[in-house]
Structure 1
Amino acid sequence: MKKVILDGKIVAQEVKNNLMERIELLKEKGIVPCLATILVGDNPSSETYVKMKGTACEKIGIKSIRIQLPKEIETEELIKTIKELNMDEDVHGILLQHPVPSHIDERLAFEAIDIKKDVDGVTSAGYGQTALGFSTYPSCTPAAILEILKYYQIPIEGKHAVVVGRSPILGKPVSALLLNENATVTTCHSKTINLPDILKLADIVVAAIGKPEFIKGEWLKGGSVILDAGYNKGNIGDIEYDSCYTVASAITPVPGGVGPVTIAMLLKHTVESAEKHLL
């Protein structure tokens, strides 16, 4: 059986290459796409992610604004900062890096983001639009998963997709996106009984449960397509890569699979938001 490694770096570069011309056209019209990233506190992982996103913006000509707020800040002050960015016409996308410190109401903060600038797809209105099939900016990791499948021309329509995970910005929206592409979707989670039996039926598996090497190769149907959206300490995904590799027809590596495309989709959404200023 021919094995395909679903290389996210190639897909991400293709997306970014397509964006560069669009960014130049915007700049000719006096518009510089701008992403504002809010970081609350000093979580080292969050610091790394924000830096990566800022670097990715700068490489293709998107302006990146980083707003660092103290970890002691209250929800009301965070929301005030978000609302100021909502009003700033030079800012086209707003990203609140999560998780935020536990005393902050993260959901309330997400909901304060103007849906026109919700390029990370975190608002409930954005999720509702994703589920109904007319979302402008779906959550970036689910969008990345669909982008990878389409880039490698992997059929979705009529296939049985099993999503393992139900988070509001990954498991649930990717289930909706796959359903909108005419897949038959089963959404599983930590309370699912007989998960291996369900996975045996899957043509497409999305691993998004947040547990390192949780999904084993012997649970999978031969020839299935595996997309690992997990990222755990030590550069480990949510699947046991070696055992899943032997069974799968196509598989994403970790790192270098879904992650790079997730960032590329964030850039794409920011450019799309900037383009709306021309309408």
Structure 2
Amino acid sequence: MTLTLRPRRSALYMPGSNARALEKAKSLDVDCLILDLEDAVAPDAKAEARSQVVEAVKGGGYGQRELVIRINGLDTDHAEEDLKAAVEAGPDAILVPKVNSPADLERVAIRLKVLKPGQPPKLWAMMETPQAMLNAAAIGACGLDSGVGLTCFVMGTNDLAKETRARLVPGRRVMLPWLMTCVAAARAGDIDILDGVFNGLDDMDGFAAECRQGADMGMDGKTLIHPKQIEACHAAFSPSEDEVGWARRINAAFDDPENAGKGVIQVDGKMVERLHAEMGRRVIAISDAIAARG
């Protein structure tokens, strides 16, 4: 079995109102670009940002980078125009902020089918409210509903801290239950999940540590607020040469005809099961996809 995966190690927020930033993004070594119409855009610049994002996406030049447009909240006056603009632009996905329940995503999916029958953009969901934490499993299950088209969770840790009054402390010990709940919900829904942003632009050691923590949790990548965070992010969320080599040896061993009927074998002096081969195939697929980006 061959897996085809899209790496989402890094997702950089780019303000839609900043035309220069939108142009610079074409040269950045990043997997995903979140072209923001929400938090990064002042109220009086919403219309300009919408127009610039449409022009940027339609103009192309972003290569293999996954393009995602974050719209304003569904309860705002901007949401409908944002959706229309996003459909016109044709990004890979639309990021819906402040998703509280499956009904929010279903509402967007229904509207998109009207605006673009046939193949509407996929949906990403911001997980950043108390309701989202309580409804994580149900929201994640939208990934199994082809009519919704959910493919990724994005943790909004800043908003989550604001809404819950939890403190953003080093190590994020108070956030761990919510983060791991969302990881489990994402996996149950067969979707990806990206970690929240790290606010300390000058604390690169702290950022690298949080990237490693996210990778250990099982996150697929991390959202970023500055290009200088990309390198450390990729280091944490890319399989190492040792991991890829080990995965290839396990798979080669299970592919050997003499092991065809075995559930457990020995590789390099270690006992491994077929589940390790399945895990290894994903490691290899991500490594190959990263290499293919160039």
- TM-based fold match above 0.5: no
Give TM-score scaled by structure 1 length.
Answer: 0.34
**Larger-gyration structure (1/2):** 2
Q: Which has the higher contact order (CA 8 A, sep 6+)?
A: 1
Give TM-score scaled by structure 2 length.
Answer: 0.32
